[in-house]
Amino acid sequence: MNRLTILKTYKLWVNGEFVRSESGRAYEVRDAQGRFWANVPRASRKDLRDAVQAARKAQPSWAARTAYNRGQILYRVAEMLETRRAAIRAELQAVSGISARDADAEIDAAVDRWVYYAGWSDKYAALLSSVNPVAMPMHNFTTPEPMGVVGIACPVDAPLASLTSLIAPVIVSGNTVVALLPEATPTVGLTFAEVLATADLPAGVVNLLSGRASELLPPMAHHLEVDALNLCGVPETERAPLEQVAADTIKRLHHSPNLTRAQWLSNAAQGLEWIEPFLEFKTVWHPLGW
């Protein structure tokens, strides 16, 4: 008996839930050979606002967790990603046109990177903090704190490795994220949301949207509740209008390098310098005790 092929229904990942776009819109995603692959939600401005609201609500409690606990959760993401290898391998092969071996290499890089940042959770503050000498009887300390809500535009190349490289160093310090997935290859990120759903990550810490960059990035850049913006996936020639809008609300702007696929899989896409741009540094003066 012939069976009906069951096509996957992709949904946005907002506030720890899989949701359809409130507008009901969708758009076609094609595979590397130009064939129909899937219909994915076309997020609206309302969806973006919901995602930012969820990220803002989740941020204080996420930042208040111990560094050790955040590290445990990032490690759990790595564990769950390993169990979803077959599904994500199929996504990567289809949309990127790479071999199973290359897809496994990208999954390996992503798993290792989540473990890597889990290890950084209780160490980055020690390296970035300082005790500052002052010419008076005072102690002067500088310590890093999370910025808040970070908006990210993700690139097309290496959609799993680049997504990991942009999200993990941001959330390890207590920030929360609203990420716009690449327009041409969003299904990898939407499938990765199934990993997050089983990884003990609190609702709202990571929110993943698919849709049109031209529709969603301007309101993301303008949103008062977005504290920082990473336009990694936006071509340099198209960044200026978004940067100007972001300046109106005094956002931190940081553009991670848009690397090649091989670079996203390498050590060039990880390090303390990927954590530091999304931190604020608080300096405290304390009278010298006797």
pLDDT for the residue numbered 134: 85
- Domains of the chain: which residue ranges? 12-287
Strand, helix or coil for residue 185: coil
pLDDT in tens, 68-77: 999 999 999 9
pTM of model > 0.85: yes
pLDDT in tens, 241-259: 999 999 999 999 999 998 9
Whether the pLDDT of residue 219 is over 70: the answer is yes
Residue range 12-287 in CATH 3.40.605.10:
yes
- Kindly report the CA angle at 17 between 77 and 78, in degrees rounded to 5? 5
Q: Counting Cβ atoms within 10 Å, is residue 229 exposed (0-12), middle (13-18) or buried (19+)? A: buried
With bands split at pLDDT 50, 70 and 90, how would you rate the model's confidence at 290?
Answer: low
pLDDT in tens, 151-190: 999 999 999 999 999 999 999 999 999 999 999 999 999 9
Q: Strand order of the sheet with strand 130-131?
A: 130-131, 138-146, 279-287
pLDDT for the residue numbered 254: 93
CA-CA-CA-CA torsion sign (229, 63, 279, 276): negative
Nearest Cα residue to 81 out of 57, 109, 60, 55: 109
